[in-house]
Amino acid sequence: MARVAPARRRSRSWIFVLLLLGAVGGLMLAPGPAHEVEAFGSRLLEPLQASVSAVAGQAEDVTSVVRRMSELSRQNDQYREEIDRLQAEIARLRELEVENRDLRNLLGLKQRAGTGELLPVRVIARDPSPFVQAITLDRGTDDGVKEGMTIITWRGVVGRVSRVSPSSSKVLLITDTSSSISGRIQSSESRVTGIIRGRPEGGLLMQRIPQEETLQTGETVVTSDFGGLMPEGLVIGQIIQIRRKDVDVLQEAVIEPSADMKRLERLYVLLSPSDGR
């Protein structure tokens, strides 16, 4: 193939440029054909533009989402950490609230119960017999526990130590049918006393209350130092039912114990002089 000389090639380029300028100039001078050419070109390019634009838009969306995702993930981690921290704080505050209430009640209890010390104890077992309401505690004579000492929670009296060994002690609950303590109705004007025993069907029964005494349900019953078994003024429970017959000399009151005997926790041995220490 014959080679085109550079001078001829340059002159052809110039001719092409001049023709293009002439065409453009002609189209500028004649708006009608120019519009036709523009419309044709647009129709030809529009699908491509749309496709590319869509792909580009999606790509931008994806990068934006990816960028936002990492940001959201970071924010999410921050919020999660914050939530965990706040939840831990709430749990700690609740625990403090319970402890505070417990201590306030114990303080009141201690003021009422006298000068005795409170020894925290834990229930390690219950009596295997379903007919005996007794528990075993994790402290014994090594910690100063003695027979006859009173066991309390901040809600009220639980029972008395019936047997004690060096490292553990058995407690007969006040709800046992063999338990018998002296109690006093706190809110009654006469402050009448009676004997409180465990009921076979659960709960407590206050007996030997004179018929002429007026009792009301909801009244609080506390321990009486009559007999010297327990210190005065420890909460036993509330009256939920009064049993009286006109023909009887005495009446009885059914009492709901304040301490939950099925779920005994935060127990204390009252190491007070009145327990014979």
Q: Could you list the residues that contact other proteins (CB under 8 A)?
A: 124-132, 134-136, 162-163, 170-172, 177-178, 197-198, 200-201
- 51 or 178: whose CB is closer to other proteins? 178
How many CA atoms does the CB half-sphere of 57 hold within 13 Å? 6
- 153 or 213: whose CB is closer to other proteins? 153
- 110 or 139: whose CB is closer to other proteins? 139
Q: Helix 6-29 and helix 31-113: axis angle, to 10°?
A: 80
- Chain centroid to CA 182: how far? 38
Shortest Cβ distance from residue 137 to other proteins (Å)? 11
DSSP sequence for 173-240? ETTSTT-EEEEEESSSTT--EEEEEE-TTSSEEEEEEETTS---TT-EEEE--TTSSS-TT-EEEEEE
Report which DSSP code applies to 101.
H
Shortest Cβ distance from residue 256 to other proteins (Å)? 18
- 68 or 163: whose CB is closer to other proteins? 163
Please say whether the beta carbons of 169 and 137 come within 8 A.
yes
Shortest Cβ distance from residue 124 to other proteins (Å)? 7
Please say whether the beta carbons of 168 and 124 come within 8 A.
yes
With 0-12 / 13-18 / 19 or more C-beta atoms within 10 angstroms meaning exposed / middle / buried, residue 102 is middle
Q: Rounded CA gap, 72 and 74, in Å? A: 5
Shortest Cβ distance from residue 122 to other proteins (Å)? 12
Shortest Cβ distance from residue 125 to other proteins (Å)? 4
Give the ranges where the chain is alpha helix by DSSP (H): 6-29, 31-113
- 156 or 159: whose CB is closer to other proteins? 159
- 85 or 199: whose CB is closer to other proteins? 199
Shortest Cβ distance from residue 201 to other proteins (Å)? 6
